[in-house]
Amino acid sequence: MSQGITIAIDGPAGAGKSVVSKKVAQALNYTLVDTGAIYRSVALLAKEAGIDWQDDAGLQAVVAGLDIHFNFVGEDNQVRLGDRDVSAAIRMPDISQGASLVSAQASVRAGLLDVQRNLAGKGGAVLEGRDIGTVVFPQAEVKIFLIASPEERAKRRHQELVGKGQEISFEEVLADQNKRDAQDENRALAPLKAAEDALQLDSTDLSITQVVTEIVGQAHKVLGF
Ligand code: DC
């Protein structure tokens, strides 16, 4: 019987990675590793311990003690630190900013390599992030680089935030997104870029179902279905 393959789904914020990764993992009954949630968890723990988000040595200790697990509860991919559910806490705006800062630290990126690989386990796994196909799993059998136009990504994010009751304009969301994109693409360590052998999918004019069908089809091709 096949052990399953590794599927890397990378791309900028707002391209639809989370929902697509979740549906692909469910369709194949694979483990799902949301690597952004791991960086967010490091930022949360550092904040609680009074460690600065740019304190490399302090962050190293946080990463060394990290006890993180994912598990599906109904439709939600819950994030747990020990037995504490931090799924909501890691999505707060200040933790997003913290995650962006800690993810630029060399010791954090190096320390999280094994964490990410161990979470993927030995069976089939879907990993969503920025550098899965280039750094974490360069040998992944299926590599997807999911993009969408900046306006479409900001529109989706704006709708999501307004849906959660936040008062924010589309222009503010777009400006914030442009700033984060530039930061992610230009940072020295593991900048956001597609692996040479990644399949680039543009979700601007595709439905979630179309994107998921394409990725599951790629996986089936590799698995010989
Ligand atoms: O996808 P996200 O918004 O949850 O990611 C949170 C932060 O972590 C974001 O600033 C990018 C960073 N990140 C990263 O550097 N490498 C990854 N593999 C995943 C996320």
**Chain centroid to CA 131:** 9
Beta strands at 68-73 and 76-81: parallel, antiparallel or unpaired: antiparallel
Please state, in angstroms and rounded to a whole number, the distance separating the CA atoms of residues 31 and 125: 5
Which of 198, 212, 177 lies closest to 12 in space, CA to CA?
A: 177
Residue 39 Cβ inside 6 Å of ligand 1? The answer reads yes
pLDDT in tens, 199-209: 999 999 899 99
- Residue % of the chain over a pLDDT of 70: 99
Q: Is the dihedral of CA 102, 6, 17, 33 positive or negative?
A: negative
Residue 116 Cβ inside 6 Å of ligand 1? The answer reads no
Range of weakest confidence among 12-21, 91-100, 155-164, 182-191: 182-191
Strand partners, 128: 9, 34
pLDDT of residue 1: 47
In the structure encoding, which two tokens stand for residue 59, read together? 């962050």
Name the percent of the chain in helix, strand, coil, to the closest 5.
50, 15, 30
pLDDT in tens, 53-84: 999 999 999 999 999 999 888 888 999 999 99
pTM more than 0.85: yes
- Cβ burial of 150 (10 Å; 0-12, 13-18, 19+) is middle
Give the atom of ligand 1 at the shortest distance from the alpha carbon of 131. Answer: 18
Distance, CA 129 to ligand 1 centroid (Å)? 6
Residue 36 Cβ inside 6 Å of ligand 1? The answer reads yes
What is the CATH code for 6-220? 3.40.50.300
Distance, CA 224 to ligand 1 centroid (Å)? 32
Q: Which of 42, 103, 115, 178 to mutate for ligand 1's pocket (most ligand atoms within 8 Å of CB)? A: 103
Which of 128, 123, 122, 14 lies closest to 79 in space, CA to CA?
A: 128
Distance, CA 122 to ligand 1 centroid (Å)? 23
Distance, CA 180 to ligand 1 centroid (Å)? 10
Residue 11 Cβ inside 6 Å of ligand 1? The answer reads no
Distance, CA 39 to ligand 1 centroid (Å)? 6
Q: Indicate the Cα dihedral angle 154, 42, 130, 123, nearest 10°.
A: -120
In the structure encoding, which two tokens stand for residue 137, read together? 């799993």
pLDDT of residue 189: 81
Which of 33, 28, 20, 24 lies closest to 3 in space, CA to CA?
A: 28
Range of weakest confidence among 29-33, 36-40, 45-49, 165-169: 165-169
Give the atom of ligand 1 at the shortest distance from the alpha carbon of 100. Answer: 10
Q: Which of 39, 59, 87 to mutate for ligand 1's pocket (most ligand atoms within 8 Å of CB)? A: 39
In the structure encoding, which two tokens stand for residue 56, read together? 């490399």
Tokens 């992030």 -> residue:
129
pLDDT in tens, 80-122: 999 999 999 998 888 988 998 999 999 999 999 999 999 998 8
Domain ranges of the chain: 6-220
Please state, in angstroms and rounded to a whole number, the distance separating the CA atoms of residues 108 and 5: 26
